[in-house]
């Protein structure tokens, strides 16, 4: 892989991906909006480190780098254009508009960048079916400028990368622990590309699919579901010292409410006529509720959902005690 190409190829997305766009309807929903690569390129400023005025790696460069790496690793596959969502706009104005009221600013007098950005790229030619749902291999990343000290001198910058599957029934992202790098620190685009290449090329997606394929075969009862939800609420309020020996519950109290609502009403993943629900459906109720997480914690919580449900699976299969069910 020629990493020197990455930093100079600013038209790579349109050249490499003439195909349709990755499903952009609510792969994440909370407080986000859809944005196009062209808008990132022409309408948004690039933050700098204030003490030395050195620029950061922009959102667009991040996306283009992962696009480039995807082409190297999955060059023979069908790869769709990125779906991009942003949040937390940081607004400004040009110097000549310093005295204008905000309502009177013209478009060319405004400046804007988004503090947080997430994107996903589908590879639909690598897919499988789990629980009657088609899953497409999906890669992507998360950037949050709020994690950087932009008031200092240029230093390593933080990124998150993931590879997993998108459930085409609901656009939920299913991300395994081994498919996530939570705190990549790099100074250059070439270093970022190297980290992405390592993650994508080493990901054992068939192993992950095998783990997912076990979930539809394991049910929990209505009373077990009720106990799980009750103890999840308890976990939120527990003193930290009491949580140490308990599996972490990844969702917030408001997201637990969504899980309960969808347990009764979701068209694809609700309980059966006896009140039972299998772990595949439960996992998708969790990942569906996770769409309401902020961008900077979205993938972390998604990985937590998988670890939690996989822990339930192991406990049930091995007939072991599990605090949330016991």
157: β partners: 186
Kindly tell me the burial class for residue 268, based on how many C-beta atoms sit within 10 Å of its own C-beta (0-12, 13-18, 19 or more).
middle
Mean pLDDT, residues 236-253 taken together: 93
- Residue 163: phi, psi to the nearest 5? -140, 130
| Residues 46 and 129 occupy one common structural domain | yes
| Residues 173 and 148 occupy one common structural domain | yes
Q: What is the pLDDT of residue 225?
A: 98
Report the alpha-carbon angle 181-133-37, nearest 5: 50
Q: What is the pLDDT of residue 17?
A: 45
Report the alpha-carbon angle 293-56-89, nearest 5: 40
**Predicted confidence (pLDDT) at residue 238 exceeds the cutoff of 70:** yes
Of residues 241 and 259, more confidently modeled? 259
| Residues 42 and 124 occupy one common structural domain | yes
Task: Tally the domains of the chain.
Answer: 2
| Residues 163 and 224 occupy one common structural domain | no
Distance CA(272)–CA(263), nearest Å, equals 9
Distance CA(253)–CA(262), nearest Å, equals 15
Q: What is the pLDDT of residue 21?
A: 67
Range of the domain at 8: 3-204
| Average of per-residue pLDDT values in the chain | 91
- Dihedral in degrees, nearest 10, Cα atoms 175, 230, 285, 262: -160
> Does residue 161 sit within a domain?
yes
Distance CA(28)–CA(293), nearest Å, equals 8
Report the alpha-carbon angle 324-288-298, nearest 5: 90
| Residues 155 and 293 occupy one common structural domain | no
Calculate the CA 106 to chain-centre distance.
35
Task: Lowest mean pLDDT of 11-15, 71-75, 188-192, name the range.
Answer: 11-15
Q: What is the pLDDT of residue 256?
A: 97
Mean pLDDT, residues 221-236 taken together: 96
User: Can you say whether the dihedral through the CA atoms of 146, 149, 154, 160 is positive or negative?
Assistant: negative
6-10, 28-32, 176-180 — which one is most confidently predicted on average? 176-180
Domain end position, chosen among 204, 238, 272:
204
Distance CA(300)–CA(144), nearest Å, equals 13
Task: Lowest mean pLDDT of 4-18, 96-110, 184-198, 292-306, name the range.
Answer: 4-18
pTM for the model stands at 0.89
| Cβ–Cβ < 8 Å for 166, 151 | no
Give 202's contacts (C-beta < 8 A, 6+ positions apart).
none
């Amino acid at each position: 892989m020629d990493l020197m190409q990455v930093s100079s190829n600013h038209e790579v997305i349109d050249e490499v991906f003439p195909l349709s766009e990755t499903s952009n309807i609510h792969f994440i929903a909370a407080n986000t909006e859809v944005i196009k690569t062209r808008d990132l390129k022409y309408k948004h400023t690039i933050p700098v480190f204030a003490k030395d005025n050195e620029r950061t790696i922009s959102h667009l460069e991040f996306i283009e780098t992962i696009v480039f790496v995807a082409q190297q690793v999955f060059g023979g596959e069908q790869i769709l254009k990125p779906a991009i969502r942003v949040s937390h706009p940081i607004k400004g104005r040009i110097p000549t508009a310093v005295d204008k009221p905000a309502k009177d600013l013209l478009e060319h007098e405004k400046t804007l960048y988004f503090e947080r950005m997430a994107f996903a790229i589908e590879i639909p030619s690598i897919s499988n079916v789990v629980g009657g749902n088609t899953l497409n291999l999906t890669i992507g990343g998360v950037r949050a400028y709020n994690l950087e000290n932009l008031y200092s001198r240029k230093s390593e910058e933080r990124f998150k990368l993931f590879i997993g599957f998108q459930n085409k029934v609901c656009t939920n992202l299913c991300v395994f622990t081994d498919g996530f790098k939570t705190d990549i620190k790099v100074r250059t685009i070439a270093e970022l590309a190297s980290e992405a290449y390592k993650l994508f090329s080493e990901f054992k997606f068939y192993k992950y699919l095998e783990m997912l394929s076990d979930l539809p075969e394991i049910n929990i009862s209505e009373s077990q579901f009720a106990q799980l939800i009750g103890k999840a609420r308890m976990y939120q309020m527990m003193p930290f010292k009491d949580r140490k020996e308990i599996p972490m519950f990844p969702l917030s109290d408001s997201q637990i409410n969504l899980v309960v609502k969808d347990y009764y009403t979701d068209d694809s993943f609700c309980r059966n006529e006896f009140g039972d629900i299998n772990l595949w459906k439960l996992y998708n109720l969790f990942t569906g509720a996770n769409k309401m997480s902020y961008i900077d914690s979205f993938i972390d919580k998604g990985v937590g959902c998988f670890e939690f449900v996989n822990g339930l699976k192991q406990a049930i299969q091995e007939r072991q005690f599990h605090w949330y069910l016991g």
